[in-house]
A and B are shown apart, each in its own frame.
Chain A
């Protein structure tokens, strides 16, 4: 009998419902600060009865139910409120106070210090398209990020110099896996480009400091790139320009569960260099071959397996006047072959647990060669002093990096989460200089890491992380703690503070001669204020960074170098004030000095300018299907030094120094959208340094200090024109045409 009791009661409750009896339910709904809430839904659970509150937060409705029922009060962004009430004909009055719910859209953001470009998360500073449409970028990821605060305008390099850090202090990660050689190899003082097209990525997070314990081996900055999942449709595309041609095909399976694709391209600057005169003599014009393949499989409703492999090859030969002997030239040749593969898998293991795992392999071969030549470009003969003869060299480097990584993401209550995992990098680096025996470096680097995001309330969140790293080559273990605290004082505005210790292995060229070196270290302290609305973003940041254990070179190599960087940065973006008009302004003030390499004392390094500013403007004219992009970059002059060695005191000293002229660069680009036959086409035209102002990146000195040569861009302006075509192979238009 007893097993049926609940059912009988249930049946009785339903039957009782037939005997209509009316009860009024009334009350008032307020928020935690006692302000009335309009539009709130009141309901008696599992019945139709209920009502919506009016502008005074009050409500009243009647119900014919009787007995004990749950009354539920709900409103977007607030936690549901529920109470049991008894309906028996007499009016029920309830007072409701709703509390805000922690959700990603309204809660405080822990990672406010980084710049994120994503289509999936609504509130981000950038959109993926911004990277492609920034005037000065020419679809290069790093160049686009150079319009953000914290970055330096270092025209002689493609790398990202962040907050007083060297270019190598910024690391790029694709789906969590480090990219060993993100840029094409090049000759000294000649900027190259990133190897990876921005169209490969759906999300970009650029952290200019204080990044998560999940990542390491970058003293200054982490650039996290997330590759796209399945494409929306099958598509063939082609790019044509006087300097390159490429073709791509992506196939999406009919069941939309898997896709594969491949692309190939060839770049040759020969034609362009014939039209636009270059300062150096390119006896081998820059040439790039590239090919890649990918597949992506949706293994379940939550699982995704992705593979990407890219092969690139580039060649450059460039001839410049010899600094020490005006009758001679140095001919520099670069040969670079690079293979990068990345396979990643992610899935939801349970309601709370997510898994992200992957392996990557990269193999890079650099062949660098310099020959001293006479004025007829023949090998220099005759009785040359040894310091000139020594400029003839062959350097070949083969580097292998294999990485495996697993991260678990465990969801705690609300938005709180715990992430932990481990990674292992195996690297093998073999360098051969001239006829000498090759030097091999072999390292097993392992790291374990854990990080917790604890939301103490919707407004206050704490992230603590710890990363343990061990390198067998250095035979050292390091512990790197990280912490962030974020507080939201209004819905749109928040402040946050970040702290962290960051380690990075010394550069290979030092480890080749001295292995008993600790990891370089940087301590970050960052304070961020951010106010983010749907269409405007304001961000102010102040930071201080301490460098320790940097490489000092002299008679021997040690890790006694140190330094600091501090500064204030501003970012303002506005899409609201003018229709179809979007602009952002950035300003960075940087104060940095370091005593490293052969510096006799702490100096402001030659890649650091004190003031940097950017204005990026985008305007789309729908009537003519054209977007105009303008970008103005400004930086104050950078210091340059002639550091010489005094044989008597056996010490380095600054023989000469100065500051370059300020850097000005006004870039302009037009994207015109058109349809050509069945293809969708984007015609791109861009020009850098519109005002043709002189740009000097620094100076190089002859050995005796008597001759000083400016470091200049190969040409004052870069002009680009190209057309990007794509052919969708879905039946979108057919669906429309069939109905007409």
Chain B
């Protein structure tokens, strides 16, 4: 009898805590996602990466906090860092994304951000483009097949890859433009699985298209 009470007490305790954690996870994530790209700077992205890392460490079964920590670290690398620091930020991003991928294998969103890590590495050392470029393309092509209805972020990255790849290597500015427009249209039909799932990039795509057509 005593045992049953104890067990009941435990379940009650756990139930209360899980109810308490549930909305808290969503709230914290939502708050951090909203402020993520508001003021793009090295410091703010570091801050965001730290916040998501904290959530990730507390919620070890959720891939989204790791994903966003990875995304924030990549964006930090692209915020005007010097090459040495940029490499370190990309390493960190890669490790977050690997943790996300371990929880959520074959996810096209993770692949999209991972391709940005590779792009960053090519920026650090241009002489590696010949070996890394095809790796990024292969990753994104696989991501395309993982989400056949069209993930705008995968299309956007693939398009940028096409744009900056020399034609003999399979690059094409024309195809890139078509694909980028396709990516923009995809936002009309793309429905993220929840409000916490990735849904960024529309504003960026619009600015890129303006520049390419400009």
Contacts and interface: CB of A to CB of B under 8 A. Distances in A.
Interface of A: 1, 4, 7-8, 10-12, 14-15, 17-18, 38-39, 41, 43, 45-52, 55, 76-77, 105, 119, 122, 127-129, 232-233, 533-535, 575, 580, 582, 618, 620, 622, 625, 673-675, 680-681, 730-733, 735-736, 738-740
B178 interface: yes
Contact of B169 (A17, A38, A533, A673): A673
Given A41-B50, A43-B54, A732-B170, A232 B138 contact: yes
Contact of A48 (B17, B28, B128, B158): B28
B10 A625 contact: no
Given A4-B6, A43-B54, A127-B128, A675 B167 contact: yes
B125 A7 contact: no
B114 to A, nearest CB: 15
Interface stretch (B80-88, B189-197, B203-211): B80-88
A15 B88 contact: no
Given A11-B13, A575-B125, A39 B138 contact: no
B126 interface: yes
A273 B107 CA distance: 57
Closest 6 CB pairs of A and B: A11-B13, A41-B50, A735-B141, A14-B17, A534-B83, A39-B46
Contacts of A129: 127, 130-131
B138 A534 contact: no
B40 interface: no
Given A8-B6, A736-B179, A740-B175, 14 more contacts: A17-B17, A39-B42, A48-B54, A52-B50, A55-B43, A105-B91, A129-B130, A232-B135, A533-B84, A580-B126, A730-B141, A735-B158, A739-B144, A740-B178
Contacts of B51: 50, 52
B167 A625 contact: yes
B182 to A, nearest CB: 6
B57 A45 contact: yes
B122 interface: no
Contacts of A535: 83, 125
Given A43-B54, A47-B58, A732-B138, A739 B127 contact: no
Contacts of B58: 46-48
Q: SS class of chain B's interface: helix, strand, loop or mixed? A: helix
Contacts of B83: 533-535
Contacts of A730: 138, 141
A618 B126 CA distance: 12
A366 B10 CA distance: 82
A38 B150 CA distance: 40
A288 B167 CA distance: 35
Nearest to B18: A14
A575 B17 CA distance: 56
B20 interface: yes
Given A14-B17, A46-B58, A674 B168 contact: yes
A535 B43 CA distance: 25
